[in-house]
Amino acid sequence: MICTFLSTTVVGIFLLQVWLTDRRHAAAGHWCLTMWIGSLCTLLFALRAVGPPLLTVGLGNLLAALGYAFMWAGFRVFDRRRAHLSVVLAGPALWCLAYLLVPQVTADVNARIIVSSVIISAYSLWIGVDVWRGRGREVLPTRTLAAAFFVSHGVIYGLRIPMAITVPAAFGHGTAYSAWFALFSLELFAHTILAAVTMLVLIKERGEALYRQASRTDALTGIANRGSFLDDMRARLADPAQGTLMIFDLDRFKAINDTYGHVAGDLVLKRFSAQVAARLEANMLFSRFGGEEFALFTPGRDMASAEGFAEALRQEVAALPVRIGDREIAVSVSIGLADIATFGADFDRLHSAADGALYAAKEAGRNQVKRAAPSLGLSDVADRMKAPAGADAVARAG
């Protein structure tokens, strides 16, 4: 009892600190209450030999049910699911009704063991199932272990029910006396410690996952950034198959910034990226490559198929409504394409070819889709490198 009280109190303090530091960890607030309710519950159980039964047994078991209810709610909140108040109150309400209105439960320790075991087993099994189902929304390393842990605890705790029926525990000094009851109490102590560790580890893993996601995401548009795209492309090109790289550049973007302001420019970037992202198919990679330049890799598409897809995107962007106040901004995009079948699986060569095709689209009047011919991968790039340094920058700025 002393060890349980100390451990739940200390973990409750740490969880409170986590919640106060970052309110996005709403589950930590629920779990903090779980730990402190568990501390008070343990304290009341420790006083059963000397305290009034209504307080130490009645209220103590009520708090045990409430603690597990808040634990269940915390895991629901952790997975961004609704924690129904009716479910939170169901367990404590069931205990109150049984203890106050059923004389056999009030007087018989084994009847009380059965009722409390039903409540705690139900919450534990539900937590385990919810944690397991959450893998589809968010993959965290500890999820599987946590799910197995809570399900096994629910099953083990539920075994107290047949034991209380077939081998009733004796009663003395305010509590049950039996070898099996002692073993189940030891398992409950271990569960309390492991549950606390599970909560802290899941919060840590969630934070690390969010940090990794932020490091791979463009802050303005919410799509992948250049580094993320390059990492994923290396993995795709390590086992080369058919595919086409598209390089997008928004036309006259500098003029949009100069005429309408940078807020309008940011809005154009966000609207454009959202429009393309809405059309993405499975396994496509889309990123903001820098400034107003974007990259899209379409695996499994040859040049002809990718060109049709790019042309549809170009037309949708040209019809994209972007309004600033009472003014509408005309948006268009130039697109350059290069495929693996022609230029191979080397990303630098593939990117140079697509970039050359993009340059050709700009030169031809913008708002166009251009394929990269084999020459664009080598000679055109060489010609561009021989051009005056400022010429290419001026052309690309449009």
pLDDT at 375: 62
Q: How many CB atoms lie within 10 A of CB 293?
A: 17
- Residue 243's alpha-carbon distances to 92, 257, 338, 386, in angstroms, are 59, 34, 9, 30
Q: What is the mean pLDDT of residues 244-268?
A: 93
Q: What is the mean pLDDT of residues 307-334?
A: 90
Q: Name 51's Cβ contacts closer than 8 Å, sequence gap at least 6.
A: 44, 174
Question: pLDDT tier at 305 (50, 70, 90 boundaries)?
Answer: very high
Taking the CA atoms of residue 288, residue 294, residue 298 and residue 301 in that order, the dihedral angle to the nearest 10 degrees is 180
Q: What is the mean pLDDT of residues 33-60?
A: 92
Looking at the DSSP assignment, which residues form a beta bridge with residue 149? none
pTM of this prediction?
0.69
Amino acid at 190: A
Instruction: Report pLDDT digits (tens) over 323-347.
Output: 887 888 889 999 999 999 999 889 9
Q: What is the mean pLDDT of residues 259-269?
A: 91
Instruction: Report pLDDT digits (tens) over 347-356.
Output: 999 999 999 9
Tokens of 240: 């080369």
Question: pLDDT tier at 282 (50, 70, 90 boundaries)?
Answer: confident
Closest CA to 138 of 200, 83, 210, 195: 210
What DSSP designation does 337 have?
A: E
The H or E element that residue 6 is part of is helix 2-21
The H or E element that residue 77 is part of is helix 60-78
Whether residue 96 has pLDDT greater than 70: yes
